[in-house]
Structure 1
């Protein structure tokens, strides 16, 4: 479940001529216009009013693809795996143990440990897909509060798992970079396809 106490949310999709479009730059929205103004002073970009997300009144279209973030505890990276069916959620786990229903909570979910096997199961409709949320403060302006980012990306899930493991070894949190990276692959047809992938990496 997504938190409702965030100062704002990060996105990388925009709407162009009323159609969804992926962007290589971060879009940040918030309920308070003064938060967006403060963010513009740090990241630059264009401020616009919006109600497209149902709760936000202002958003910033930045020109940056990477931001430094502070994550204090492993619990601030929430990792779930969900398989939806006609009757709702068919499988809900963290990759190792069930998260629901209540009578299955904590039991082994049976998901494979290797990411490629999980992807294959998901493609075949017999395995869950990732649902990753990360909550953080911005390294350049931590006083603005907690921000959030949610993604169903496999790349994000894999990098978030590594980040969470790193946090388990730290006592004072860590600084990461939340980044949008272009990824290319060759389809079976021979066509080279490019997409934008969100990842979280240790910042050094």
Structure 2
């Protein structure tokens, strides 16, 4: 059964944060990437389970065999990418250290990235690196500036291995979720205090609520839980058919 599609909406808690450390670059390119949506006509369309892409056919076959889903070849123009629409909305993962989770603020326009910072100082462009970026201190104020078109949006990067298939290598998730961005300091602290590698769970959480006018709204967002004492059983990560 194919994953059910619905339009993805944005809704985030107003949580202040005092800033996060500068992101560290990953040691190597990831072997695959987890996604929360398709792009259809330039618009993100959420799916009900994890979507994974890779350029390695053997990795795609292993993912499909364990998490469900049939690998499909996508022609992206520059490279052939294999997509697996899994039947899992939660996956046990292994995170190596605090550098496995990072946050930077990014502003793009007209196909160009012209502002990249850590919330306090510029990371890019190279000529401005290290200088004050002028972003608000709290994440809530940063969100307000971004919604007004005056500030960057979050780019959360998470690098992890699959606890069920660690031999495949390191995967990544890149998210612009304000909610996940608010959780980065706590995640980094938990990873810093945990034994390496830390066992966690990557969830694709369904959030449902009603507006004041009574309109039912739902959307999905990525969630990372650290400190699980044991990996999920194989049946526990499967969605119902």
- TM-score bin (small chain): 0.7 to 0.9
The CA distance in 2 between the partners of 1:2 and 1:91, in whole Å, is 20
Instruction: Answer whether contact 1:132 1:156 (CA < 8 A) is retained.
Output: yes
Gaps of 5+ in 2: 1-24, 229-241
Question: Is 1:200 the counterpart of 2:187 in the alignment?
Answer: no
Aligned position for 2:233: none
RMSD: 2.9
Deviation at 1:3, TM superposition (A): 8.1
Residue 171 of structure 1 deviates from its aligned partner by 5.2
Shift of 1:69: 1.2
Q: Which has the higher strand share?
A: 1
After TM superposition, the structure 1 stretch with the greater mean CA deviation from structure 2, 21-30 or 163-172, is: 163-172
Whether 1:84 aligns to 2:102 is no
Aligned residues: 204
Asked whether 1:49 is paired with 2:73, we answer yes
Deviations 1:18-57 (A, max 9, x none): 9852102011121121111111222122222222485344
Q: Is the 8 A contact 2:38 2:45 kept in 1?
A: yes
RCO comparison, higher one (Cα < 8 Å, 6+) = 2
Distance 2:114 2:43 in 1: 31
TM-score normalised over the length of structure 2? 0.72
Decide whether the 8 Å contact of 2:38 with 2:46 is kept in 1: yes
Counterpart among 23, 26, 30 of residue 6 in structure 1? 30
**SS of alignment partner, residue 111 of structure 1:** coil
1:126 to 150, 160, 168: 150
2:59 aligned residue (13, 17, 35): 35
Match of 1:22 among 40, 43, 46: 46
Shift, 1:75, TM fit: 2.2
The TM-score with structure 1 as length reference comes to 0.84
- Does the CA-based 8 Å contact 1:32-1:58 persist in structure 2? yes
